Structure 1
Amino acid sequence: MGVDDVPMDDKAKRMRDLLSSFYSDHPHSSIPTNASSKYATLDTINTAMFDADQYMNLLVQKSNLEGLLQRHVEMAAEIKNLDTDLQMLVYENYNKFISATDTIKRMKTNIVGMESNMEQLLEKIMSVQSRSDGVNTSLFEKREHIEKLHRTRNLLRKVQFIYDLPSRLGKCIKSEAYADAVKFYTGAMPIFKAYGDSSFLDCKRASDEAVAIIIRNLQGKLFSDSESIQSRAEAAMLLKQLDFPVDSLKAKLLEKLEQFLDDLQLESRQINNASADSSEPPKQGNSPSSDHEASTREFMEAIRAYRVIFPDSEQQLIKLAQDLVTKHFEATQKQNERQICSTDLLGMLRVIWTDVLLMDEVLPEAGLSEFSLKAARVNVKQFIDCTFSRLLLQISDTLRKIQCRPNEGEAEYSLQSVLEASKKAVSEGSMDVLQDFCQLLDDSLGLLVKLRGLIIDWVQEGFQDFFRKLDDHFLLLSGKTNFTGQDQGYTEGIQKEKALFGLVLVLAQLCFFIEQSAIPRITEEIATSFSGSGVRGYEYGPAFVPAEICRIYRSAGEKFLHLYVKMRTQKVSVLLRKRFTTPNWVKHKEPREVHMFVDLFLQELDSIGTEVKQILPQGLHRKHHRTDSNGSTTSSRSNPLRDDKMIRLNTQRARSQLLETHLAKLFKQKMEIFTKIEHTQESVVTTIVKLCLKSLQEFVRLQTFNRSGFQQIQLDIRYLRTVVKDAVEDEAVVDFLFDEVIVAAAERCLDPIPLEPPILDKLIQAKLSKTSEENPASS
């Protein structure tokens, strides 16, 4: 391998080592001098302790002939390269030595002429110095005389100023230029202290008398209510410059600041009232907010002057500033209790924040920004809570219109109008509240920017709590059932009872609307406008949970619907109980017409139908007629065989056979009588009819009838069956319940012989004709 094949880094390193060892005064070896041959290696050729014989023996032992020849060639090339490099190094150093020699020669030539120039410069400097000494000697006496005259002139001016000082002070008193007077007097004090008891005694006495007048005038200005707080502060500063003991005035001046603070708070209330009426255009002149800002700036200047006069009054001034901010927020809190919008609140907070920024410039130690931030949290949270409370009150007032009796000339509120108004109050009222709160988020006021996350949480928590309170309020409204007190008239009790029925039905449908429409719309708006990150921790979950609210109102809607059915059924049950407990059924006379309780029962059904038609939608389900269902087959209208059988029931054996047939029918058909109540007209009316018929069956089973009483029940039920069939949804079940009543009456009858079908039909037709004549509109 040739020398050119060796890497450049290794070659350069070896070259540096060789040159270093060549020029080194203290060569060192990597192997000790007393090292034995076992430490000798082939690398020792570059050390100062190199042993040629030992190296050759080691090389012969480790290399073959071909390796020795190769090593010979390499060493020859290295020797040649070293000679070349050494020659180049010598040439380079030689050039540097020649260049240094030339430079030294040029320097020697230039320095030779410089010595004579330096001698000439020294001669000229000595000549200038001698001439300058001569000029100073010749002008010394004149200069000293001029300086003496100048000092005399200045002294004469001071003396003249001292003699003119009383007249100057008098002019200042007349023009009320007390600042100039104090400046003149304090300027003359050093002379008065030195010569006031001798040469300028009269001038000092006259000046002191003038200053005494000035002090009295400044004191009067300090305690004058007509003077501004800034003028009072300047008067205190001048008194302090005159060495007047102003510490005794500290409490009085602080009292003036507190009085000014009250006046400033009064202006703040005026600004609040002015901000509430934002619809009026601004008039010419200064606006209330600009006047308030000017007054606040004057107050700040007074505080700045007070700090200069009394450096140890920082804590008192901090308390004053915090009291001002506290009173501002108290005024805002009182405004929150009224019906104000976010625009009014923003106007108040903007005035407060302006005052805080102004006071921070003068009194940064008070920390008013953080102080006002804490107070603003309370005010904004109160505003949000009050807004939700007003929305709850609006919805409540809308619902209470059902219970209000109209005055003369006023139209009665229909259930449908109250329901629509309530829906509007919930939906549009919630949207208006959200838009109002959006203004708080969109405003760039420093206070609100810091509270943005809290406002988002408060709004979401507010809606969650609002709908919970609204549900509780619905329950409270529906629970006021005591409308028939003895101190009230019968008509008023009936009207309030009717209003309660309508209110419960409206609440049921309103809960259904809130679940289906209002909550999704509010959820979408909150996701759009209040989706920013709040400060509520993730461990607490979201503040507004629509699913929970929907579940609450789904349950509440079903609860109110069941309550309406229960209340209506209870009223009818009272009527039925009175009907069956009053007469003596064992001695009942032969039936001549349908009993009056049937008309009352139908009137109640008509009232129920009128209410549900205003509130509930029509159902989509097809009516279950008798031919479409597995309903009862024992109806006296559709089963003539049953009529014949009822005629022959004149013995106890026939009555037992009827009971066995009825029980067999129940186990065979397994009819589902009561199903889930839907938010439809037909479902509610049908459920009420079913419950009333079940109550009627129970009342029948508690009585004992003779033949005429049984026939009266048969007539009444037959007429009800004819009239009610078109008003119910599940006709088959209703027919079954009618049959149950007939069977129960037959079981409790001593002689259950029914009316002849012709007689029954004749009586029913007579009742239908009479009803048509009394109510031609219904026919």
Structure 2
Amino acid sequence: MEDAPMDDKAKRMRDLLSSFYAPEPSMAVSHSAKFMSLDAINSPSFDPDMYMDLLVQKSNLEGLLQRHVEMAAEIKNLDTDLQMLVYENYNKFISATDTIKRMKSNIVGMEANMEKLLEKIMSVQSRSDGVNTSLVEKREHIEKLHRTRNLLRKVQFIYDLPTQLGKCIKSEAYTDAVRFFTGAMPIFEAYGDSSFQDCKKASDEAMATIVKNLQAKLYSDSEPITARAEAVVLLKQLDFPVDNLKTKLLEKLEQSVSELQIESRELSIASNSDDLSKIGTLSDSVPSMHSGFSTNQASFDDFCASVRAYRIIFPDSEGRLIELSRDLFTKRFGTIQHHIKKRIFSSDLLVMLRVIWTDVTVMDEVLPEAALPTFSLEAARAAIRQYVANSFSHLLLEVSEALTRVQTRPKEELEEDSSLQIALESSKKAVIQGSMDLLLEFRQLLDDNLELLAKLRDLIIDWVQEGFQDFFRSLDDHFLLRAGRNTSTNQDPSFIDGTQVDKVLTGLVLVLAQLSIFIEQSAIPRITEEIAASFSGGGVRGYEYGPAFVPGEICRIFRTAAEKFLHLYIHMKTQKISILLKKRFTTPNWVKHKEPREVHMFVDLFLQELQAIGTEVRQILPRGLIRRHHRSDSTGSTTSSRSNPRQDKMVRTNTQRARSQLLESHLAKLFKQKMEIFTKVEHTQESIVSTVVKLCLKSLQEFVRLQTFNRSGFQQIQLDIQFLRNPLKEIAEDEASIDFLLDEVIVAAAERCLDPVPLEAPILDKLIQAKLAKSREQKLAS
């Protein structure tokens, strides 16, 4: 509320001063009117009645009294300000009067001095005119003599020109010769056919010799490019046709580019001609690459000098020079890409890029129109992207070689207890250590201070992340191909390209399953951590494409792959044993089978295959939580199978009654016993072996259902199955499930038997003991 009066006061003071100093009152009034409102007291359009009406309407009595006090104070202040303003202007008027008086007193003697100065100037001018008039004849005579002297010198120079040209030819001072001759050309053109005919003829003969020598220097390979360029310049000064010279010089320049390209190509061949096994490591060959790039520097300097001289000589040839320059650096980057295909380290790549970028900087100063930094940036982008992709290809090859060494090992070596374990560890090392080494290599590219790499930093980060994503996808495809699975077709999983699955090394499939688990649980988290620490950022590829590296997707892929390989291993092993079982049941004539005398040899083969599976899984799979399902006597144990009252009753009754009782007992067992036979397959020794045994027993049951047995055939099946009980329960460690499945086989055989009368318990035990004794003898003999 206190600021408003002060604002009004400031406005009134400004208007007052403006009206005081304004040249015309009308201008001051018009200027101040812009800032006056209707109720402004100092405005020309102020209406007291309207102002009072507004004031009475807006304010009460107390407000009117307050406004009265304020206006009284303002009037007093204005009077004071006006007094101060008048005082200040009075002082200025006094000061101005004093100044005018001093100026008047100083100007009084100035007019007399100016008149004296004018008189002196006029006197000097008259004397100068007199001197010029008296010396004009002598000056003209001197100038005439000077012109005559210059003419005599020129005449003497013309007469001495042939001699001077001869001396220049002997000393090869062709620049001076051309300068002398071009200086004499105006005189020869004017008087060459009359007064100086002999001099002109001798000079022309000398210049013809000079032109011939200059042409010889131009075409000489021993002459440096600067000397040849100088020869071209001199010939152009002599008005010699240089179109053919331009072509010749361009051919020389192209030849120098070709020589640089040949040196780069020879470098590439020399550094890759020896076998890596003889060289040792790839870094041993690096000095040759580095020296090769540095030894080309002299040739490159000559090339730059040639381009610089060529631009001066032929300014209209920039297009061809740009083409040659870009072609040179294209070939040099091509040499780098050739090395990349042969696998180089990032330190080697950095050295070559630094050398090329230095040359690019030098060449850009010589020929900026070629835009070589931008051109080289694109070429380096392609080379580095190829380096990143090629590094991942070599990593994939290393993992593949680790698996190939397992697959190509002799069968005897694969049967050892540690062969698959060694294979798994070498594969793990190839994946994780190879990935860490690649990250270190790529990190060197990011940490280097080369300007070229700084511009590509975000792209390199994206390429590394995309490379890991594509690498693990390719690795998954490679695993599937190694396992004999063709993901591009929907063919029978038992056949791959017309080849049976059992021809694929089963141990390799098991290694792939465990390797996939390792990649999901260990490799991907560690690689993700390293990428987050050192390769964060990027984003050049655009947000619409999503992140370059997606660990969750890779983990899901290899989790699925591990399950596929585990089931494939079980399928392959089961299929191999099923072929053995099928051959066993399709070969004999079961209707005419003889009385059983011993356990059949297929039992030994069956157990050998299961033992081989156990040997493989023990090498690389961990032991799981053992969950034995023991079976009570009511559900049929080994003892009850021998002395089952139901089987004794089958002996004493006829065939149809025994079969009926057997079926009724089997149905009762199904309703009574509720157990889960096939559970989820886990990555443990027990789970794999148990699943294979159960699947084989189910296959055995199906093969039995396809045959028809007589009493002896049925008894042979009973004997073989009874012998398998204890070994299978020890291998599978699941007594209840094994007992159940073995009983299923016996029941299936009884269902398909014409006279299902089992062997008596004593005879069954005697035959089993005989087989056990024979097996012990064979083990001792071996």
TM-score between both structures, scaled by the size of structure 2 = 0.83
Post-superposition shift, 1:686? 0.9
Q: How does 1:498-509 map to 2 (within 5 A)?
A: 500-509=505-514
Quote the Cα distance in structure 2 between the aligned partners of 1:502 and 1:44. 109
**Counterpart residue identity of residue 639, structure 2:** R
Match of 1:634 among 624, 633, 636: 636
Post-superposition shift, 1:521? 1.8
Quote the Cα distance in structure 2 between the aligned partners of 1:635 and 1:205. 134
**Counterpart residue identity of residue 708, structure 2:** T
Match of 1:317 among 321, 329, 348: 321
Q: Does 1:196 align with 2:196?
A: no
Match of 2:746 among 726, 742, 745: 742
Match of 2:547 in 1: 542
Quote the Cα distance in structure 2 between the aligned partners of 1:78 and 1:480. 104
Greater CA deviation, 143-152 or 359-368?
143-152
Q: How does 1:114-193 map to 2 (within 5 A)?
A: 114-129=110-125, 132=128, 147=143, 150-193=146-189
Superposed CA offset, 1:565-590 (max 9, x none): 11111111111111112222233222
Match of 1:485 in 2: none
Post-superposition shift, 1:725? 1.9
Quote the Cα distance in structure 1 between the aligned partners of 2:440 and 2:400. 22
**Counterpart residue identity of residue 750, structure 1:** L
5+ long unaligned stretches in structure 2:
30-37, 273-281, 487-498
Match of 2:694 in 1: 690
Post-superposition shift, 1:694? 0.9
Match of 1:645 in 2: 646
Q: How does 1:241-640 map to 2 (within 5 A)?
A: 241-270=237-266, 279=284, 287-404=291-408, 406=410, 414-479=419-484, 500-619=505-624, 621-626=625-630, 633-638=635-640
Quote the Cα distance in structure 2 between the aligned partners of 1:269 and 1:48. 97
SS of the residue corresponding to residue 334 of structure 2 reads helix
Superposed CA offset, 1:292-319 (max 9, x none): 2332232222223223332322222222
Quote the Cα distance in structure 1 between the aligned partners of 2:40 and 2:715. 140
Shift in CA distance, 471/626, structure 1 to aligned 2, threshold 3 Å: same
SS of the residue corresponding to residue 637 of structure 1 reads helix
**Counterpart residue identity of residue 233, structure 2:** M
Post-superposition shift, 1:64? 14
Shift in CA distance, 495/182, structure 1 to aligned 2, threshold 3 Å: same
**Counterpart residue identity of residue 261, structure 1:** V
Would the aligned equivalents of 2:708 and 2:752 in 1 still touch at CA under 8 Å? yes
Post-superposition shift, 1:601? 0.8
Shift in CA distance, 42/28, structure 1 to aligned 2, threshold 3 Å: farther
Shift in CA distance, 381/258, structure 1 to aligned 2, threshold 3 Å: same
Would the aligned equivalents of 1:632 and 1:733 in 2 still touch at CA under 8 Å? no
Quote the Cα distance in structure 2 between the aligned partners of 1:632 and 1:161. 140
Shift in CA distance, 675/55, structure 1 to aligned 2, threshold 3 Å: closer
Match of 2:212 in 1: 216
Shift in CA distance, 105/190, structure 1 to aligned 2, threshold 3 Å: same
**Counterpart residue identity of residue 766, structure 1:** A
**Counterpart residue identity of residue 657, structure 1:** Q
Match of 2:34 in 1: none
Identity %: 72
Would the aligned equivalents of 2:286 and 2:348 in 1 still touch at CA under 8 Å? no
Shift in CA distance, 378/30, structure 1 to aligned 2, threshold 3 Å: closer
**Counterpart residue identity of residue 752, structure 2:** R
Quote the Cα distance in structure 2 between the aligned partners of 1:8 and 1:80. 14
Shift in CA distance, 21/383, structure 1 to aligned 2, threshold 3 Å: closer
Shift in CA distance, 100/423, structure 1 to aligned 2, threshold 3 Å: closer
Superposed CA offset, 1:473-493 (max 9, x none): 222222289xxxxxxxxxxxx
SS of the residue corresponding to residue 732 of structure 2 reads coil
Post-superposition shift, 1:214? 1.4
Shift in CA distance, 272/347, structure 1 to aligned 2, threshold 3 Å: farther
SS of the residue corresponding to residue 296 of structure 2 reads helix
Match of 2:35 in 1: none
Post-superposition shift, 1:649? 0.7
Superposed CA offset, 1:697-749 (max 9, x none): 11222223233222222221122112222211322211211121122222333
Quote the Cα distance in structure 1 between the aligned partners of 2:248 and 2:758. 108
Quote the Cα distance in structure 2 between the aligned partners of 1:340 and 1:390. 11
Match of 1:760 in 2: 764
**Counterpart residue identity of residue 645, structure 1:** R
Greater CA deviation, 735-744 or 220-229?
220-229
Post-superposition shift, 1:626? 1.0
**Counterpart residue identity of residue 321, structure 1:** S
**Counterpart residue identity of residue 548, structure 1:** E
Match of 2:234 in 1: 238
Q: CA RMSD in A?
A: 4.4
Quote the Cα distance in structure 1 between the aligned partners of 2:743 and 2:522. 43
Would the aligned equivalents of 1:267 and 1:292 in 2 still touch at CA under 8 Å? yes
TM-score between both structures, scaled by the size of structure 1 = 0.84
Would the aligned equivalents of 2:421 and 2:619 in 1 still touch at CA under 8 Å? yes
Match of 1:105 among 101, 115, 120: 101
Quote the Cα distance in structure 1 between the aligned partners of 2:538 and 2:306. 43
Q: How does 1:19-34 map to 2 (within 5 A)?
A: none
Match of 1:35 in 2: none
Would the aligned equivalents of 2:265 and 2:335 in 1 still touch at CA under 8 Å? yes
Would the aligned equivalents of 1:42 and 1:55 in 2 still touch at CA under 8 Å? yes
Superposed CA offset, 1:166-218 (max 9, x none): 23322332232322322232233233333333343333222221211111111
Quote the Cα distance in structure 2 between the aligned partners of 1:641 and 1:475. 51
Would the aligned equivalents of 1:30 and 1:47 in 2 still touch at CA under 8 Å? no
**Counterpart residue identity of residue 370, structure 1:** T
Match of 1:490 in 2: none
**Counterpart residue identity of residue 418, structure 1:** A
Match of 2:674 among 670, 675, 687: 670
Shift in CA distance, 20/568, structure 1 to aligned 2, threshold 3 Å: closer
Shift in CA distance, 10/44, structure 1 to aligned 2, threshold 3 Å: closer
Quote the Cα distance in structure 2 between the aligned partners of 1:222 and 1:719. 103
Quote the Cα distance in structure 2 between the aligned partners of 1:510 and 1:325. 44
Q: Does 1:721 align with 2:717?
A: no
Post-superposition shift, 1:271? 5.3
Quote the Cα distance in structure 2 between the aligned partners of 1:654 and 1:12. 130
Quote the Cα distance in structure 2 between the aligned partners of 1:761 and 1:68. 134
**Counterpart residue identity of residue 626, structure 2:** R
Report the number of matched residues.
744
**Counterpart residue identity of residue 185, structure 2:** M
**Counterpart residue identity of residue 561, structure 2:** A
Would the aligned equivalents of 2:595 and 2:716 in 1 still touch at CA under 8 Å? yes
Would the aligned equivalents of 1:617 and 1:681 in 2 still touch at CA under 8 Å? yes
Superposed CA offset, 1:665-702 (max 9, x none): 11222211111111111111111111111111112222
Quote the Cα distance in structure 2 between the aligned partners of 1:737 and 1:172. 116
